Each structure stands twice: as structure tokens, then as C-alpha cells.
């Protein structure tokens, strides 16, 4: 399915200092490096799927990943976007349930998989690591609860503004064009972030274009009026 790669060393990984592995000791790092696996996923490839028991913790070495849930009528809600140094798949690992979400690569991505046993060894052996996990879960829970209120109470237009700001925050802008978001999403994916139907998303995008807040050129989105976008996104907080 996906290509297996030679493992990069966590010990030398540039993302590690900002990741949840930041204060894992050398001994544990060695164990980690010797038990993990590393894969190359092509754009669109599924990393793991809802309903399947998790096999380990996934760590994005390089690339962009969407974490999503598939709702009743097959509509996809994107729960989280992961970038270099982010981990995914930890929640179901911790509850011992089958995964409650799926994950797929938004672009070609290199992703390491830390086996379940290694993960739990880290958790038990290292107080710092379990504290990082707690912080991660707390932050995610906070974000999720925010999103519940927003989806329940804010109109699409404001949620779209928020989504665009999130994309800028998460993936930044292109080298040489600081207004162009550094990620390419289909309209369906964008709708999945906002939590609305594709057609509604397209109309909201068109309105933003008319108002010169953004411009689009295929999947490339440029932010033309950041202050105004922030205003719209945070209007009803």
C-alpha cells in the first residue's frame, strides 16, 4: 500500500524540540528509534481509519495530514490538521477503543509509526511524557469545545473566516508570497473544516472574493485583508 522508508532518527529530528517527545531521555529515544517504522504516504492516502483498532502513535515527520470523521450521509468533518512534528492517533490508543477518526495525507507525507507498546512504555517510564500527553489532550479538548459553540452559534461566513485563519496559523504562507496559504485543499475539504455543505462553502468563498478579502486561483487561496478577516472570524466570541 504505502512505501516503507528508512527510519529517520528521532534523536536528530528537528521537530522533536517542539513535539511531545521533547523531553524523552536518550535511552528511551534509542528504544523508540529501533522499534518505530516510517512510511511514505502519497497525497490522499489513508493513514488509519475510523472503527479500526489503532496499531500505534503516528508522528508526522514531513507533510500535511487531515484527521476527519465521516458523518451520517457520508459527509466528512475535518477535526484536526497536522503538520511536521505533530502526532495523531493518540486518543483511541489511550482509551483502548477502535479509532474514532480517520486520517489521510493532504500531500505526500513521511510519517513514523510508534508501536503501541513503545508508546505505553514511554507513558509509564517518563513523567514528563505523560505530562506532555495531558497538555496535548487538554489543549485539544479546549479547541473542540470552542468549536462546538462556534458550530452551534456562528454562521458559515464567520466560521469560514476562522478556518482560513486556522490554515494560515497551521501551515503558514508560501515562500515568496506571504499572502498565499501554503496548503491546497479541495472545496470539499474546506467545507469539511468549516462544517457545512460544499455549495454553501463555495458561495461563502465567492462572497469573500467579491469583498476582496481573499482571492482564489484553483486551490491556491490568497489572503488579501487579514485584519478584516480576523474581525469577521472573532466577531461573535
Per CB under 7 A, residues contacting DNA are: 73, 155-157, 186-188, 196-200, 202-203, 205-206, 216, 218-219
CB 191 → DNA: shortest distance, Å?
8
CB 206 → DNA: shortest distance, Å?
4
Residue 87 vs residues 56, 84, 94, 222: alpha-carbon distances, Å: 11, 9, 13, 28
CB 68 within 8 A of CB 102: yes
Which secondary-structure segment (H or E) carries 52?
A: none
Q: Which does 137 bind (CB under 5 to 8 A by kind): DNA, a copy of itself, none?
A: a copy of itself
Q: Which does 200 bind (CB under 5 to 8 A by kind): a copy of itself, DNA, none?
A: DNA
- Identify the residue whose cell numbers are 468563498: 205
Q: State the CB neighbour count (10 A cutoff) for residue 172.
A: 13
Tell me whether residue 11 or residue 131 sits nearer to a copy of itself (CB atom): 131
C-alpha neighbours within 13 Å on the C-beta side of residue 109: 27
Q: Which does 23 bind (CB under 5 to 8 A by kind): DNA, a copy of itself, none?
A: none
Contacts of 195 (CB under 8 A, 6+ apart): 77, 151, 159
Q: Which alpha helices (DSSP H) does the chain contain, by range?
A: 26-35, 90-95, 116-125, 127-153, 156-171, 187-194, 198-210, 226-234
CB 157 → DNA: shortest distance, Å?
6
Q: Which does 138 bind (CB under 5 to 8 A by kind): DNA, a copy of itself, none?
A: a copy of itself
* Contact residues for a copy of itself, defined by CB under 8 A: 69, 71-73, 75, 77, 79, 91-92, 94-95, 97, 100-101, 123-124, 127, 130-131, 133-135, 137-142, 144-154, 195-196, 235-237
Tell me whether residue 51 or residue 155 sits nearer to DNA (CB atom): 155
CB 29 → DNA: shortest distance, Å?
40
Contacts of 8 (CB under 8 A, 6+ apart): 38, 61, 110, 112
CB 164 → a copy of itself: shortest distance, Å?
18
Residue 82 vs residues 34, 104, 105, 106, 116: alpha-carbon distances, Å: 24, 10, 9, 10, 20
Tell me whether residue 175 or residue 217 sits nearer to DNA (CB atom): 217
CB 79 → a copy of itself: shortest distance, Å?
6
What is the Cα–Cα distance from 228 to 27, expressed in whole angstroms?
50
Tell me whether residue 170 or residue 182 sits nearer to a copy of itself (CB atom): 170
Tell me whether residue 117 or residue 237 sits nearer to a copy of itself (CB atom): 237
Tell me whether residue 100 or residue 216 sits nearer to a copy of itself (CB atom): 100
Amino acid at each position: 500500500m504505502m512505501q516503507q522508508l528508512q527510519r529517520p532518527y528521532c534523536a536528530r529530528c528537528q521537530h522533536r524540540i517542539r513535539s511531545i517527545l521533547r523531553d524523552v531521555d536518550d535511552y528511551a529515544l534509542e528504544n523508540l528509534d529501533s522499534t518505530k517504522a516510517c512510511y511514505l504516504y502519497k497525497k490522499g492516502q489513508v493513514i488509519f481509519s475510523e472503527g479500526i483498532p489503532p496499531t500505534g502513535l503516528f508522528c508526522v515527520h514531513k507533510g500535511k495530514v487531515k484527521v476527519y470523521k465521516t458523518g451520517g450521509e457520508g459527509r466528512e468533518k475535518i477535526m484536526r490538521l497536522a503538520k511536521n512534528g505533530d502526532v495523531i492517533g493518540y486518543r483511541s490508543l489511550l482509551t483502548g477503543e477502535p479509532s474514532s477518526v480517520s486520517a489521510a495525507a493532504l500531500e505526500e507525507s513521511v510519517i513514523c509509526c510508534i508501536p503501541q507498546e513503545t508508546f505505553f512504555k514511554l507513558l509509564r517510564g517518563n513523567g514528563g511524557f505523560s505530562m506532555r500527553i495531558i497538555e496535548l489532550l487538554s489543549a485539544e479538548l479546549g479547541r473542540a469545545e470552542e468549536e462546538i459553540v462556534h458550530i452551534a452559534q456562528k454562521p458559515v461566513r464567520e466560521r469560514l473566516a476562522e478556518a482560513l485563519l486556522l490554515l494560515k496559523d497551521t501551515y503558514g504562507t508560501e515562500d515568496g508570497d506571504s499572502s498565499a496559504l501554503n496548503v491546497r485543499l479541495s472545496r470539499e475539504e474546506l467545507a469539511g473544516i468549516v462544517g457545512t455543505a460544499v455549495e454553501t462553502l463555495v458561495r461563502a468563498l465567492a462572497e469573500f472574493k467579491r469583498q476582496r478579502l481573499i482571492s482564489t486561483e484553483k486551490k491556491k487561496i490568497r489572503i488579501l485583508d487579514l485584519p478584516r478577516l480576523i474581525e469577521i472570524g472573532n466577531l461573535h466570541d
